[in-house]
Amino acid sequence: MHLQRKGTVHEKIIPPLPPLSKGGWGDFGRIQMSGSLGKLLILLGVFIIAVGVLLLIGEKIPWIGKLPGDIIIKKEKFTFYFPITTSIIISIILTLLFTLFRK
Protein backbone atom coordinates (compact mmCIF):
# COMPACT_ATOMS: atom_id res chain seq x y z
CA MET A 1 0.00 0.00 0.00
CA HIS A 2 1.49 3.30 -1.04
CA LEU A 3 0.55 6.75 0.14
CA GLN A 4 1.85 9.93 -1.48
CA ARG A 5 2.33 13.12 0.45
CA LYS A 6 4.00 16.24 -0.99
CA GLY A 7 6.04 14.40 -3.54
CA THR A 8 7.41 11.67 -1.23
CA VAL A 9 6.28 8.08 -1.07
CA HIS A 10 5.37 6.60 2.34
CA GLU A 11 4.92 2.89 2.63
CA LYS A 12 2.57 1.50 5.24
CA ILE A 13 3.52 -2.02 6.34
CA ILE A 14 0.63 -4.24 7.42
CA PRO A 15 1.66 -7.53 9.04
CA PRO A 16 -0.05 -10.65 7.72
CA LEU A 17 -2.90 -12.11 9.77
CA PRO A 18 -2.16 -15.36 11.61
CA PRO A 19 -3.91 -18.46 10.24
CA LEU A 20 -7.18 -19.38 11.93
CA SER A 21 -7.22 -22.57 13.94
CA LYS A 22 -9.48 -25.37 12.82
CA GLY A 23 -11.26 -25.69 16.16
CA GLY A 24 -12.61 -22.15 16.17
CA TRP A 25 -11.13 -21.31 19.58
CA GLY A 26 -8.31 -19.15 18.26
CA ASP A 27 -5.11 -19.60 20.25
CA PHE A 28 -6.82 -21.22 23.24
CA GLY A 29 -5.54 -24.65 22.27
CA ARG A 30 -1.95 -23.41 22.34
CA ILE A 31 -2.08 -22.09 25.90
CA GLN A 32 -0.48 -24.46 28.37
CA MET A 33 -1.87 -24.63 31.89
CA SER A 34 0.64 -23.78 34.58
CA GLY A 35 1.08 -25.45 37.95
CA SER A 36 -0.56 -22.52 39.70
CA LEU A 37 -4.02 -23.69 38.65
CA GLY A 38 -3.37 -27.07 40.25
CA LYS A 39 -2.21 -25.42 43.47
CA LEU A 40 -5.30 -23.21 43.49
CA LEU A 41 -7.59 -26.22 43.11
CA ILE A 42 -5.82 -28.06 45.93
CA LEU A 43 -6.15 -25.03 48.23
CA LEU A 44 -9.82 -24.72 47.31
CA GLY A 45 -10.32 -28.39 48.20
CA VAL A 46 -8.58 -27.95 51.56
CA PHE A 47 -10.74 -24.90 52.27
CA ILE A 48 -13.94 -26.83 51.47
CA ILE A 49 -12.84 -29.69 53.74
CA ALA A 50 -12.05 -27.26 56.56
CA VAL A 51 -15.48 -25.63 56.25
CA GLY A 52 -17.09 -29.10 56.32
CA VAL A 53 -15.20 -30.06 59.47
CA LEU A 54 -16.20 -26.79 61.13
CA LEU A 55 -19.84 -27.46 60.26
CA LEU A 56 -19.60 -30.94 61.78
CA ILE A 57 -17.96 -29.84 65.05
CA GLY A 58 -19.62 -26.42 65.20
CA GLU A 59 -22.57 -27.72 67.19
CA LYS A 60 -20.23 -29.13 69.84
CA ILE A 61 -18.66 -25.73 70.57
CA PRO A 62 -21.23 -24.07 72.86
CA TRP A 63 -20.13 -20.44 72.51
CA ILE A 64 -20.31 -20.28 68.70
CA GLY A 65 -23.23 -18.02 67.85
CA LYS A 66 -24.15 -17.25 71.44
CA LEU A 67 -21.72 -14.46 72.22
CA PRO A 68 -22.80 -11.05 73.53
CA GLY A 69 -23.45 -8.89 70.49
CA ASP A 70 -24.92 -11.67 68.34
CA ILE A 71 -28.36 -10.56 67.23
CA ILE A 72 -31.28 -12.97 67.63
CA ILE A 73 -34.87 -11.84 67.07
CA LYS A 74 -37.57 -14.46 67.65
CA LYS A 75 -41.23 -14.00 66.71
CA GLU A 76 -44.02 -16.57 66.44
CA LYS A 77 -43.23 -17.78 62.93
CA PHE A 78 -40.01 -15.91 62.28
CA THR A 79 -36.46 -16.02 63.62
CA PHE A 80 -33.73 -13.61 62.55
CA TYR A 81 -30.19 -14.51 63.50
CA PHE A 82 -27.10 -12.40 62.79
CA PRO A 83 -23.92 -13.54 64.61
CA ILE A 84 -21.97 -10.29 64.24
CA THR A 85 -19.63 -10.80 67.23
CA THR A 86 -18.90 -14.39 66.25
CA SER A 87 -18.16 -13.23 62.69
CA ILE A 88 -15.75 -10.56 63.93
CA ILE A 89 -13.88 -13.04 66.14
CA ILE A 90 -13.62 -15.60 63.32
CA SER A 91 -12.39 -12.84 60.99
CA ILE A 92 -9.68 -11.83 63.46
CA ILE A 93 -8.56 -15.45 63.91
CA LEU A 94 -8.41 -16.05 60.15
CA THR A 95 -6.52 -12.78 59.62
CA LEU A 96 -3.93 -13.80 62.20
CA LEU A 97 -3.56 -17.28 60.67
CA PHE A 98 -3.18 -15.94 57.14
CA THR A 99 -0.66 -13.35 58.35
CA LEU A 100 1.41 -16.01 60.13
CA PHE A 101 1.43 -18.44 57.19
CA ARG A 102 1.91 -15.89 54.40
CA LYS A 103 4.89 -16.65 52.21
- When pLDDT is cut at 50, 70 and 90, the band that residue 39 belongs to is confident
Domain ranges of the chain: 62-103
Per-residue pLDDT of 7-30, as tens digits, reads 555 556 777 766 655 555 555 544
Rounded (10°) CA dihedral 20, 24, 25, 26:
10
10-45 exposure pattern, b = at least 16 Cβ within 10 A, e = fewer: eeeeeeeeeeeeeeeeeeeeeeeeeeeeeeeeeeee
Closest to 82 in 3D by CA, of 73, 98, 95, 71: 71
* Whether the predicted model's global pTM rises above the 0.85 cut: no
